[in-house]
Amino acid sequence: MQAHDEFDPGESPHGLPQRAAVGGFDADTPEGEEAGPLVRPYVIAQGRDHADAVQLDMISVVIAAKRAEVDEMALEPEQLRILELCRRPLSVAEVSAHLDIPVAVVKVLLSDLLNRGLALARAPYTAKSPVSRDVLQAVLDGIQRL
Amino acid sequence: MASRDSDPGPEAPVPSALKILVAGGFGAGKTTLVGAVSEIAPLSTEEVMTEASYGIDDLSGVESKTTTTVALDFGRITISPSLVLYLFGTPGQERFWFMWEELSEGALGAVVIADTRRLETCFAAVDFFEQRGVPFVVAVNCFDGAHQYEADEVREALSLNPDIPVTLCDARERESAKQVLLTLMNRVSEQVAA
């Protein structure tokens, strides 16, 4: 697909550029060197990867386990901050934003906390668990109330 | 293990989350629209991605890697104690397709914000959602001073299917942004029913 970086408003009769209806986006043939396999850095996570990680989504909602005994020495400082923050339910993305730690790193730190039983996570709705009409209606009503 | 939600425990109820994507070119008004309806000031999270060359999996390729930081702005709407909706502004540039891939998974649907001053900046997003079958609507953000186009002119320029809603909006206005989301939700319901 061509980048449409330069747009001359004089070119089309309506003054709007025309999108080609067929073709277009093709993830299989990324152009140039911009796209490629991605390796995410885990600096704080000490090189651990997803091998032992609980599957967490950006919008998995996490809460610190209430009566868990926390061995502070066994945890990273960032993990203690996560537990502090997650006294109320927050998404992985919110934790990332509040602590200014990339999402990928938050996921690794969190999955460790989940494996230790120090936090609980609720998986979001996914394509595998399609949203029911009741939920759709609830969302519609919720937006209506804004 | 997908979740640890089997133990209700003594903790506060943990809500399930849903997401809607807000896509469009740089400066089209993604974060503005998110902010107009979000109950929190939009937050920003960063994903640091290291891009390696194809076919290189050994250490010799290290020096050729480049690091890209992709910022995502998002907002939140609490629907009920058990349901939270997140709105993610997705980076518009085509080269961030790998983020869309991850973000669009499980998304209820998407709003593509069209900026008629630079309509071509939303082409890639339209292509993406169209091909993935993600329900979407096109919201034409009417900027002050920009030439005002009719929804049908934009629809034609985008070669959209007739059943894809196109609405004009002012992304700064809560009521307007709300109407865009309602249009999307109706579209999502139609698509679920179909």
B4 belongs to a structural domain = no
Q: Which domain holds residue B176?
A: 16-55+63-193
Q: At A38, which helix (H) or strand (E)? A: strand A38-39
Alpha-helix runs per DSSP H in chain B = 30-37, 97-104, 123-132, 151-157, 174-193
Q: CATH number for the domain including B48?
A: 3.40.50.300
Q: pTM for the full model?
A: 0.80
Residue window 102-131, chain A: list those with CB within 8 Å of chain B: 102-104, 114, 120-127, 130-131
Do A60 and B106 make contact, defined as CB atoms within 8 angstroms? no
Do A39 and B52 make contact, defined as CB atoms within 8 angstroms? yes
Domains in chain B, number: 1
Domains of chain A: 50-122 (1.10.10)
DSSP classification of residue B113: E
φ and ψ at residue A33, rounded to 5 degrees: -95, 5
A43–chain B Cβ distance below 8 A for any pair: no
B37 belongs to a structural domain = yes
Which residue is listed with tokens 């989301």?
B181
B91 belongs to a structural domain = yes
Q: Alpha-carbon dihedral of residues B31, A103, A124, A56, nearest 10 degrees? A: 170
Q: Which of A15, A89, A97 is facing B12, going by the closest CB pair?
A: A89
A24–chain B Cβ distance below 8 A for any pair: yes
B1 belongs to a structural domain = no
pLDDT digits (tens, 9 = 90+) for A90-144: 999 999 999 999 898 999 999 999 999 999 999 998 766 778 899 999 999 999 9
pLDDT value at residue B57: 44
pLDDT value at residue A73: 92
pLDDT digits (tens, 9 = 90+) for A25-83: 444 444 444 444 444 444 444 445 544 557 899 999 999 998 878 999 999 999 999 99
